[in-house]
Chain A
């Protein structure tokens, strides 16, 4: 059986959970096996997972699972794997998934691939691909243990509705007492968090100063994008630190990345070069970012960005 840990926050699933279930469904099909999802804590919408291919949803509802503790979650997932006899376990490659994958590997004595970028190849060997060297190469791993563990990179597969339904069943697993106390959870309201954003508008030192960000925010608001920035911009406190993308900041892979007034240093590219489509706006024709771009506009950003925003507004009005 393929078991997917479907992450939820306050009972709600994120896109990553649907991606993981869709991925697990296809793995199960390739293996001629069943696909079940596991939900921990509150999850009023658990049956939704049926629509992405889960034939059954198991839920461990202990109140202690309301807060994330990698030790307690590991015990819950490992307990479910053993009870259900799962041979492939899939997590999201999120802050939660990354804290669990390694623990589960040790606990279940299972080989793991962190951040898979494609479906496994299943034959004599079980092979899984992932990006390595900050996206500059792809490595194919062979997992040789009876239980196989995968965390799925965000935006690597699109969630696909199957129209199926799933029954939700309670599961009992003995859990250890938590040794941590979560004092506070602060969320940034409003926009989609960067690691999950499908559309990102990012700006660099070419903006000259924090007072000029209005044109960036207007563009982002118009397409419903999340804003990001280069490191020097965050370091100078022009923008909040959580917007910093790149090797030392957040690594993202949105469908669309619009880079404005960013030169395209290799450390910046390391965090964004897995974006599906890259648009670069820069006045320097020699800017290295153009080499990594799909579409380039060589012009003064202060002219071009408002014009792009207007063009999108016009397009939206015509298509509504």
Chain B
């Protein structure tokens, strides 16, 4: 089983969000970066479990600059066999998907795993794009997945329920909570990760069709109105007359 996991680097949720250059650039000063949780907790761990069960290899791929190498090594420490970094700025979802597709096309992976979304741009776009480039079925928001022979059985979240799907490999899948339990790398994993192969490849030619021009911080929330706990009629009145939600 040849498995690929797409991993991205995102600012930790607790990071202060700020912008520079006239609000056109994210200010990475003092920002703590992590592996995107959906990629490392669910996508990577389920891929590792399937490899343990069925044999094969797990490759991780990231589109990003050399400063991402430390984060990529974390993925290797969790258990991936080898890593590929496509040496380019991840300018947009389409750009990232195109770069990964150019690398993955020749490799014939059986399953390509992604997280359900990145917690910075919250787009949930790369997976569908990659599936289209690779011409595979795409199952998003998978919460459970089993593979037998060349068939995968997957549960996916839909609005107000779940759907159970059977699909032949190769396929592209995006992973949500439920797919696997988070694995914390141990000392041995961290030591071994230093010697695992991390290949750097140059990017392919690619156009950008949708780019961020400016950022803005949302208006500060006006301060909270504290109400008398004895007077719930007042809260109901405010929700009806002022907030107009009841």
Contacts and interface: CB of A to CB of B under 8 A. Distances in A.
Interface stretch (A18-26, A41-49, A165-173, A176-184): A176-184
A159 B127 CA distance: 30
B33 interface: no
Nearest to A197: B160
A124 to B, nearest CB: 12
A183 B166 contact: yes
Interface string A254-271: 011000000000110010
B233 to A, nearest CB: 5
Contacts of B97: 102, 106
Contacts of B236: 308, 311-312, 314-315
Contacts of B233: 311, 314-315
Interface in A225-262: 241-242, 244, 247-249, 251, 255-256
A188 interface: yes
A291 B224 contact: yes
Contacts of A134: 13, 119, 122
B140 A99 contact: yes
Interface in B66-109: 93-94, 97
A133 B11 contact: yes
A193 interface: yes
Contacts of A180: 137, 139, 165-167
A141 B245 contact: no
B2 interface: no
B218 A135 contact: yes
A279 B122 contact: no
B235 interface: yes
A304 B140 CA distance: 41
Interface stretch (A29-37, A79-87, A110-118): A110-118
Nearest to A138: B216
A297 interface: yes
Interface stretch (B151-159, B187-195, B197-205): B151-159
B224 A106 contact: no
B210 A193 contact: no
A258 to B, nearest CB: 9
Interface string A79-98: 00000000000000011101
B184 interface: no
B131 to A, nearest CB: 6
Interface string A279-320: 110000000001111111111000110011011101100000
Interface in B1-17: 11, 13-14, 17
Contact of B125 (A68, A112, A193, A291): A112
Chain B at the A interface: SS class = mixed
A105 B211 CA distance: 14
Given A111-B94, A186-B162, A256 B239 contact: yes
The CB with the most chain B CB atoms within 10 A, among A96, A102, A310, is that of: A102
B65 interface: no
A167 B165 CA distance: 35
B128 A70 contact: yes
Contacts of A266: 13-14
A303 B231 CA distance: 12
Given A111-B210, A241-B177, A296 B226 contact: yes
Interface in B225-241: 225-227, 229, 232-233, 235-240
Given A98-B128, A99-B140, A137 B217 contact: yes
B163 A184 contact: yes
A205 interface: no
A114 B227 CA distance: 38
B123 A256 contact: no
A256 B238 CA distance: 12
A118 B212 CA distance: 15
A1 interface: no
8 contacts: A111-B210, A112-B94, A135-B218, A137-B17, A181-B167, A199-B245, A295-B239, A299-B229
